[in-house]
């Protein structure tokens, strides 16, 4: 907690601790950024109560994007809290109002594990959705949205002007321990490396003092981490492009997954297996491979 304004809550996932973080900003109104999936709603409620926040008091739900690990509980909360306003990029708003296509896409990726991981996804009533448009400063006087595409084209991050804290969503990748390297969150189908590099420049320009990574935690030096992640994205792009040219991308994806688990095991122990069984590094490789195939001449220069 920072100046009693920021509360980070571990909502867990499928028995994995420190997999998904939800963020409360307590100002003139209570704001929740990224509640996580509906399967974690009761844990969110309990953990929020433990830090002195009643979910019924939340008036603004700010979504970085509509992926179910970030926004899956939004419809449930909107039905529970009639006064709730759900803020999201205008391109993500239709998926909140009618989530069927989003659920179908997620089900194709996760198969039989879908319902266990993400649970029921309810629509958000249209009158509770507040679309964010380019050029808008909101959603609140003290909470500013920043357009941060790359992971997906409608990704937003939020800066608390009082504490200099950035709720980054997936914009800064995955950081599972303060001393661990940043891992790229690049699942298909929406990855755009060029837009992401511009996002990292934008974050450096904002210069936040600290950031919340949804996966996982509150960490310092987000500007330094943005620079690191810039290198990480370029390195993965170079690797995947070379593997695709040699016709070995499928095998290299499995190698990348194994290397990622080994690289992060010193900080996560055996728990690294559970985390990457859900958020597979091979799937991150597949997202970069899709970008390479769609943009064969892209060099980023």
Taking only the tens place, the pLDDT of each residue in 215-266 is: 999 999 999 999 999 999 999 999 999 999 999 999 999 999 999 999 999 9
Per residue in 179-208, pLDDT (tens digit) is: 999 999 999 999 999 999 999 999 999 999
- pLDDT the model gives residue 1: 37
Domain boundaries, the chain: 6-294
pTM to 2 decimal places: 0.96
Give yes or no for residue 2 having a pLDDT over 80.
no
Using only the alpha carbons of the chain, give its radius of gyration: 18
Residue 81 Cα distances to 24, 39, 56, 70, 78, angstroms = 16, 18, 6, 18, 5
pLDDT-derived band at 4, boundaries 50, 70, 90: low
* Other residues' Cβ atoms within 10 Å of the Cβ of residue 280: 20
d(CA 172, CA 225): 7
pLDDT in tens, 112-162: 999 999 999 999 999 999 999 988 888 999 999 999 999 999 999 999 999
Six token digits for residue 12: 């867990």
pLDDT at position 3 is: 39
Helices and strands, counts by H and E, the chain: 11, 11
Sheet with 6-10, strands from edge to edge, namely 6-10, 21-26, 30-33, 58-62, 85-89, 129-132
Asked whether the bond before 23 is cis by omega within 30 degrees of 0, the reply is no
The class of domain 6-294 in CATH terms is alpha beta
Q: Are 7 and 53 in contact (CB under 8 A)?
A: yes
């Amino acid at each position: 907690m920072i100046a009693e304004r920021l509360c980070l809550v571990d909502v867990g996932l499928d028995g994995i601790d420190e997999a998904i973080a939800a963020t409360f900003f307590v100002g003139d109104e209570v704001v929740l950024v990224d509640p996580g999936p509906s399967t974690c709603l009761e844990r969110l409620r309990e953990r929020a109560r433990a830090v002195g926040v009643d979910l019924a008091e939340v008036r603004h739900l700010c979504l970085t994007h509509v992926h179910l690990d970030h926004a899956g509980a939004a419809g449930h909360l909107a039905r529970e809290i009639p006064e709730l306003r759900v803020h999201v990029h205008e391109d993500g708003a239709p998926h909140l109002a009618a989530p069927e296509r989003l659920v179908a896409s997620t089900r194709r990726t996760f198969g039989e594990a879908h319902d266990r991981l993400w649970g029921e996804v309810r629509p958000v009533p249209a009158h509770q959705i507040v679309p964010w448009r380019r050029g808008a400063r909101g959603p609140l006087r003290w909470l500013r949205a920043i357009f941060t595409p790359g992971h997906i084209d409608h990704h937003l991050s939020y800066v608390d002007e009082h504490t200099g804290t950035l709720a980054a969503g997936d914009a800064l990748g995955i950081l599972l321990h303060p001393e661990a390297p940043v891992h790229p969150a690049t699942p298909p189908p929406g990855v755009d490396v060029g837009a992401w590099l511009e996002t990292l420049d934008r974050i450096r320009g904002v210069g936040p003092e600290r950031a919340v990574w949804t996966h996982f935690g509150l960490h310092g030096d987000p500007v330094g981490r943005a620079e690191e992640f810039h290198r990480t994205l370029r390195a993965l792009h170079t690797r995947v492009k070379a593997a695709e040219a040699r016709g070995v991308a499928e095998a290299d994806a499995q190698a990348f997954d194994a290397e990622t688990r080994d690289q992060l095991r010193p900080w996560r122990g055996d728990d690294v297996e559970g985390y990457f069984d859900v958020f597979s590094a091979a799937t991150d490789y597949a997202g970069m491979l899709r970008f390479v195939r769609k943009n064969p001449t892209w060099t980023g220069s």
